[in-house]
Structure formats: C-alpha cells, structure tokens
Structure 1
Amino acid sequence: MEKLLYEASLEGNLNTLLMLLQEDPLILDRVTLDRHGDTPLHIASMLGHVGFVKEVITRKPHLAMERDSQKRLPLHIASAKGHTEIVKLLLSANPETCNARDCDGGNPIHLAAIKGHYEVVRELVQAQPQAARAMVQHETILHLCVKHNQVEVLKLLIESLRGDHEFVNTKDAYGNTILHLAVADKQVQTINFLLLTTTIEVNATNMNGETSMDKLAQVARDLKYQQILQSLTRAGAVETSIQGPVRRVYKNSRTKTSLDGFNYHNQPLSPQYLRGELTENDDWLNKKRSSLMVVASLIATMAFQAGTNPPSGVWQDDGSSNDPLHKAGFAIMPSNHPTLYHIFLICNTVGFVSTFSIILLLISGLPFVKHRVFLWVLMVIMWIATTSMSITYLVSIWVLTPTPQSSLVFKRVAIGITGVWIALMTLLVVGHTIRIIAVAFKKFEKLVLPRKRIILSPLVINHAAEI
C-alpha cells in the first residue's frame, strides 16, 4: 500500500489516494512515521499536483510540517519550484511554515527569491512579512536576489520593505552591501533601481575599505562600465583608497579635500580624474614592455639564424691542405671577404646579446623594471641592437650582391637608406635622453629648493583631524 501511495504521489493520481485512504485512514501518518526521506506530500509539491496536495492537506494538515532529510518542508520545495497554487494551499494549512529553515539556513522565501518566482515571493511576503528579514549565512534576501540577478523580485521585496533604511544597507560577512555586489557583477538595471528608488548608501565601505566605486575600478571597462560609472558619479560615489596626487578621499562628503592641500570647493571628485592619470601611466609602461619583449625576441631569433647560417653559406667539402679555412661546415665568407665577415660577426653578436639582455631584464621581475628610467635604458639597448642588425644586413647585401655597375648603385642606395634610418634612430635616442635628463633635473630641483608652505583653511584642518 505504501508503494501504491508513492506511485500515486508521483502521478498525482487522486483516485488511488482516495482508495488507499478508504482502506487505511492512517496510511499517511504511517508513511511519515516509518520513513525519513521525501513524504508523498513532498513529492506531490515538487511535481505540482495541486489536487493531490489539496486532498492531503484537507485530511492531514499537520503533514505540512513534516521535514525531509534536508530539513525541508513541502513549502520549501513548492516555493523553489514556483508552484503558486500549492504554496497557497500549504500556507492555508500553517502560515508559520514560512519561517522554517532548512539545513542550509534558508526559508521558503529565500528559495523562491533565488529562483526568481515572483508570484510565490509575493504570496509568502503577504503571509509572513518578517520571514523576508531573516538572514541566511550572513546574507539578507536582498543579497541573494542580487547574487542571482533577480531584479524583479528585488524590486518587490524592497517595495514591501519600503522605509527600512537599515535593512536595505545591511552588509554581508565581507561587509558588502547589495550595491557592492551589483557593481561587481555589472548589473546596470539593479544599480539604477537602487540609486534612484532606495536609500542605499553609495559610499558605504566593506571590510577592505572599498566603496562601490572601488568595486567598479576592479571590473573590465566596457559599455556597462561606462553606464555604471555615470550613474555612480551622479549619485556622488567616490573612491576611498587612491595612490598618487590625491592621497585620500573622505567618504560621505560631497566636499572633498586631500591632505596635500587641494580644495575642491563643494565639487565631487571626478572618477575620470581619480582613475585616468593614475592608471594610464601604468598601462602605457606595460604596453611598452610587452612590445619590447616581442621585438627583442624577434631580433634575437634573426641574429641566431644569421649567426648559424652566415651569408654565402658554408663549405660542403674540405679544400686543399693549403687553405685551412676551406673545411666542411666552415663559413665561406671568411675566405672571400675576411674583413666584412669580422664586421658581420661583431655586429650580429652585439645584436643578439643586446636583445637577449632585454629579454632577461624584462622577465627578471626586479622592482626597477616598472620605472620610466629603466624603459629608457631598454630603449637605448634596443637602439644598439637594431643598429647592429642594420649593419649586419648591409654586410650581407654587400657580400651576396654581384659587382657590376648596377649592383654598385643598388649597394649605395641601400647604404644611404640604412644610414638615414640609423641617423633617425639616433635622433630619437638623443631626444629621449634630453627629456629624461630634464625630468630628473626638475625632480632634483624640487628636492633641493625649499618648498612653499601650504596654508590650509581652518575648515580643511578640522575636517582632516576628524577623519
């Protein structure tokens, strides 16, 4: 009979249920007494068999309080599945089941909110409004809605809890408000709703001291990033931990003053000002280092190939004993052009060693590789490498090109073009050298010359002291 009862709950067969109850009126109680897993009411609630659930609740309303192995009531399962009619039936049996917790600490309204079952959430909130305020693992139901991107359910809950400023700004175990989570996940619609219709604190900080604007700085910059940035800026959001010209931004204040004496006269600091120059320099340096790594690897490969396969190739057999340079595997070029071969070998080796040095310095991980001065040093080394490879190319062309008059003209043109290119590169290196000397001189001048005293207003001093 128990097997028939479970089959009836799976199929939602009301006739079989009535027949079994007629033969044994206590069969439902006996099943719940002997088993610790899903009861027939759990199964019917999961599968949405409204008639079956209604008959069981009518005859045995106390079965709505029976738990399965995960401590879930039938209301938990019906809420998670979004069966609104069954939720109404179970609530009519016992409205207190809204507050029941499963093994994870969640009540039925938590499960319905996570799944986005709007109508079920509305029924549960109307039955037991306080159930929506229950915390689960240090998170409110609003945190769960944002984490699972259930915007409509979030709107319903906030409207039902209208005026509860403290609950809307509740923080999770890491100190994050729902605005922190929405910004981190780039939920534009949720962010706009929170900023326009709630009393969310835009500059609330988490356990790491980060505001919503700090969270935004950690995500990828795309169209959503721009939309969120505009919304947060209009709402007066600021960053709290900035390294650079602005040492610190004081939260919860529209008038921002830094400890360096900058007064912004009742104007909120622009995120573009705070983030632009501070990250642009680092991005520029990273791109330059990446470009240098690629170019250095390419030139090193070229130099290695030229060294192992010199112009004119190598001898394929041994010559006479009178010519010690004519040996199988030896380069042909030393026999025909000994002076040019020495120039070729020196320049090619300089180019290889220079670029290999650049690669080693870039992958060393030393702290000084992040400065512009180091980048200038790498640029000088790269200039040496490219100039050496240019001379190597000229020597190779000179050796491989025949000697008629037309070829002589070609050689001269090649030498002229390469010479102009080397001269241009030299001018660039000299220009950068002059520029870096000027920057270094300015910094030295600031260190040596006495600084001007900055007179701060009493308002600024008092504000800094309070912070």
Structure 2
Amino acid sequence: MDPRLREAAQTGDFNYFYSLIEENASVLNDIDTESFAETPLHVAASAGQIAFAVEMMNLKPSFARTLNQAGFSPIHLALQNKKTLFVHRLLEMDKDLVRVKGREGKTPFHYAAELGEPEELLNDFLEACPECIEDVTVHGETALHIALKCNKLKEFKSLVRWIRGSCHKDAKLWEERILNWKDEQGNTVLHIAALENQPEAVRLLVKCRDVVDVNAKNSENLTALEYISKCDENDESTENQRPVPNRSEITKILRAATPRMHPFMAILDFDEELMLPYVKRVITHIARRRENISNGMRNALLVVITLVITATYQSSLSPPGGVWQGDNSNTSSKSNYASINTSNSSTLAGEPHGPGTTVMQKNTFVVFWTYNTLTLLTTLGLTAFLLPGGSIALLLLVPLSLLCSSYMLSMSILSPTPFWSKVNTILSIVFIMLLLLPYPRLFNERRRAQMKSELSPRAVLKSKKFYIKIFFFLVAALCFTVIMLQNWLHS
C-alpha cells in the first residue's frame, strides 16, 4: 500500500486521500485484487478513525472482509486495539462482520470472548447477529471453549446465560449443540472447565443437566471426571512440572452430578445460578415455541381463535334461555319468562329478579360462567401468544384487556345473585389494570434505543412524551372506571 495512503488513513485526512485518488483513480482497485492485503480500512481500524472507515466502507465494502498478511480483518484489529466505538460503527453498517473468520478461523466474536473487554461487547455481538454463537475455529473451539481456556469466567457465564435465556427460533438447538460441542480432541466445555480447574463453571454446567451431557466422552473415551483423574496422574508422574492443581471440589461436583434431566422437569427446576427464576424460564420456553410457529400456521390459528372469541363473547350478550325483562316485580317477569321457559316457572315463582339478569338458576349460571370464562381467557391468551414481538403487538394487548373487562361487566349484569355480580365487577377492574403492563417494556425499548444512538435526542424526547400522555390517559380512565364501579357496587 502507498505510504501516503497509509498516512491519510491514520490521520483521517479526507482531502489528502482524495488528492491521491485524483493522481491514481485505481489505487483502491489495485489493493482489492490481492488476496491478503493491508487496506486503508485496516489502518483506520488500528487508529480508530471512524469517519474515514465509514467513507472507506461506502467506497469499498469488500475491504471489511479482507484479511491482512497476518490474517486479521479490520474489525479484528479494532478489537485488538480496544476501539470499541469503531467496532459498533462497523456492526451498524454490516452486522455479519462479526462472523468474518480470520487467523485460525477465529471470528471477532471469538476475540471478544478471549479478550473479555469491554464486558457488554459479547452481548452486543449476540444481539446484532445471534447466529455467531455457532461459529467454531479451525480447532473446533466455540466461544465457550475459548473463554474457559483464557480464564474468562465472567464472559463464560454471560454466554451460558444468553444461550439458556435466548428466545431465538434455534435457541433450543443451540443449547443441545453448543453446550455439548466437542473440539478437535473431543473435549466438551465441561471437560475444559474441569481441566482448567474452574469449579464455578463446572457447577454452572452441571445445573444445565437438561441439555448438558455430564457423561459425554472425548476422543480418548473419557468423561470429564475420568479425564481430570488421568491428567492428575500424569502430572504427579512427571518431574519438574508445576504443582498439581487441587481439583477435589470439581471431582466432588462431578461425582454428585445426576444424569440428564427431562426438559419439562428442568422448567420446574429453580436455577438461581443462571438467574432464570421459574417464571422467566416458563416465559422463555413459551417464547421459543412461538418463534418456531410458521406464518401459515399462525394465521390459521388466529382465524380459528377469532371465531371462538366471537362466539364466546356473544354468549355473554345473549345467554342461553334469555334474560328477565321489565321491573323487579314478580307479575311483570312471569309472563316474559313463561314465554322463554315454562318448565321452571313454578320453581322460580315468588323470587324477585332484576331486569337484564339471566333466567338460569344459580348453579347452572356458575357452570356456564366457568366454562365460558375459561374459553375466553384461553383464546385471548393464545392470541397474545401468537402475536409477533414488538411495540405494536404490545399495544394490541390494550383492546384485548378492554374486551375482557367488558365481558366481565356483561357477566356482572347477567349474574342472578349480588355475589356473582360483585365478583365479575372486581374482575373487570383487574383486567383494566392490565392495560398498564405493556408500558414498562415500551419505555425499556426506547431507553435501549437511545443508548445505542439509534434515535436522535429530539426523537427520543418526542416518543417519550407520546407514551407518557398515553400512560396518564389510561391511569385517568382507570381511576374514573374504578370510581364509577364503586358507586355502582354500593348503590
């Protein structure tokens, strides 16, 4: 590469760079023809010249994947020189750069696991390109293998937590493959953790016994427990070596480890080490199932669910047998009820019935209410389950909550006794309160977007004002509804 072009890339001098282009218009094309070459983008990456690198990416996108003579791409060099902002800027332009394989097949994701700084960089890579978790080196090592061999326990835990908590459509497959992946010597991450004398990592992997095979064998046909026993024997028999590490704690953990647990039992198993409590693990399991549903199946299920919701809600408006009409007197209701159901007129004679209440007896109404309510709540839950993720889907939960609330209000009017009327009224208030649930997540999404500078400060402020207005409007509507319902209950 021309030394003058190198100088322009190091200083980020655009004027000097384009003066060189005027002298030789094919200067970049000459570099691009070489299989291994140091490009201006490599120099800019080492120097942290973000603006110059963006300009170079626009002119020659292929430079981002070109390896220099040492086998490193520009993003590899940026990681080695701790140019974090530079790395993020390149990922914004092309997220697949995190999977560019350099020397010995190591990707930038592997280098992030090896270097361990900054801490949030691994999560940023996984968020930009989750598929990078599958990449392995020429030695068959995953990022988990590399983190353990480099004694990066914190990064290893972060990777395991991400794999366990990911809602990606291939997350379950990744759990089975990545946590049991074998390197060129047949060693899994459990073998490496035991060999490197890292009891915390071993304990963490043993807790994932629904996916981690504790009895997996390497190329020497040895399990992790047998492997460290053999290594200890070899270390003791070899002279002039470093002291034999004390692996008694790891040996105790592996001996007490149980075989692989059934996935359903793992959902019920509280795992504090992985920071996945019971509720979150169930939600993760449900979210993974949702991601694996095809669009055709999703649309067909939504059509059927819509029909069921319509029929269920209609039954609350027109219950079986009809409703009492007229005033509360027995004479005005008898004639109307006799036209509906004459078989029970004698048993109900003499009992006052309010207008609009169902003609069903109390026990019959309880059975009808139970089946109908369970059907409605189940179908509405399935609707929320089938909706795709995002802010728009969260906002669709508002009309679903209002539908449940209006259904309970209708049931409170139909209730044959004051007790069931109050029960349905209270449930109506509960479903109105559910309107406030989506907003913490909406604010959290906006905050993450602001931290990544995806939105301008003015756009962020404008969006916050919009959501704050909606929030206070819903709170006011909730308070008004509660006051009105309380007055109605005491009337």
The TM-score bracket by the shorter chain reads 0.3 to 0.5
TM-score, with normalisation over the residues of structure 2? 0.43
TM-score, with normalisation over the residues of structure 1? 0.44
Q: Which is higher, the Rg of structure 1 or of structure 2?
A: 1
